[in-house]
Amino acid sequence: MKKVGILMGSDTDLPVVQKAIDVLRELEVPFEAHVMSAHRTPKAAAEFSEKALENGFGVLIGAAGMAAHLAGALAANTVLPVIGLPIRGGAADGMDALLATVEMPWGIPVATVAIDGGKNAGLLAAEILAVEDEALRGRLRARRDAEAERLRAKDAKLQQTLADQLK
């Protein structure tokens, strides 16, 4: 199975990135996580994305706040899918990160999840890899089925609470 490469612009992004890591671990998806910056370590970030395919990666996640250029910088140097994970913070409370990540120029796409959307970044990365991995597709389906069952149980509890209130 291909790996997911997770790059974050700062170690302060780890609480959000940890949610992606947790999902990938739950789904048994191999990954690497690194701190690299599009601005402070641009050569390292570029080299990582340039060599990602040959190093066994199938998808990259770029997590960054404020200027949030990391996902775009990664996408500029690879043809692998790149998922942008904008991080809340700064004067615009993450809106700058979201817009900088989602508004990529023509020809350099970045799939973008919500501000602080670490879980969805991990799930989307797994879904991309699952295109060619039947076992992973099965784990993703089982996860969705379990989530649906939890929701049905919550609804049943709500219905019982409402019925009890009428008594």
Do 13 and 52 share a structural domain?
A: yes
Task: Flag the least confident range among 11-15, 25-29, 32-36, 67-71.
Answer: 67-71
Mean pLDDT value across the chain: 96
Which residues are paired to 60 by β-bridges?
5, 82
How many independent structural domains does the chain possess? 2
pLDDT tens-digit map of 121-148? 999 999 999 999 999 999 999 999 999 9
Secondary-structure breakdown of the chain: helix, strand, coil percentages, each rounded to the nearest 5: 50, 15, 35
User: Would the pLDDT of 167 be above 90?
Assistant: no
Task: Identify the CATH number of the domain in which residue 12 sits.
Answer: 3.40.50.1970
CA distances from 85 to 52, 97, 105 (A): 18, 9, 17
Residue 67 has pLDDT above 90, yes or no: no
139 belongs to an annotated ligand binding site: no
CB contact at 8 A, 102 and 68: no
Record the pTM.
0.94
Q: Same domain, yes or no, for 95 and 126?
A: yes
Flag whether 13 is marked binding: yes
Token digits of residue 38: 């599009």
120/143 same-domain check = no
Structure tokens at 23: 């999902």
Residues 6+ apart with CB under 8 A from 39: 9, 67, 69
Q: What is the pLDDT of residue 68?
A: 77
Q: Please compute the mean of the pLDDT values over residues 29-35 and round it to a whole number.
A: 98
In the chain, the N- to C-terminal Cα span, in Å, equals 56
**Does residue 57 share a domain with residue 123?**
yes
Over residues 66-91, the mean pLDDT reads 94
Sign of CA dihedral 69, 72, 76, 77: positive
Across the range 88-92, mean pLDDT stands at 90
Q: Are residues 117 and 165 in the same domain?
A: no
Is 37 assigned a ligand-binding role in the annotation?
A: no
Do 37 and 86 sit in the same domain of this protein? yes
Number of residues written out for the chain? 167
Domain of residue 152: give its range. Answer: 136-167
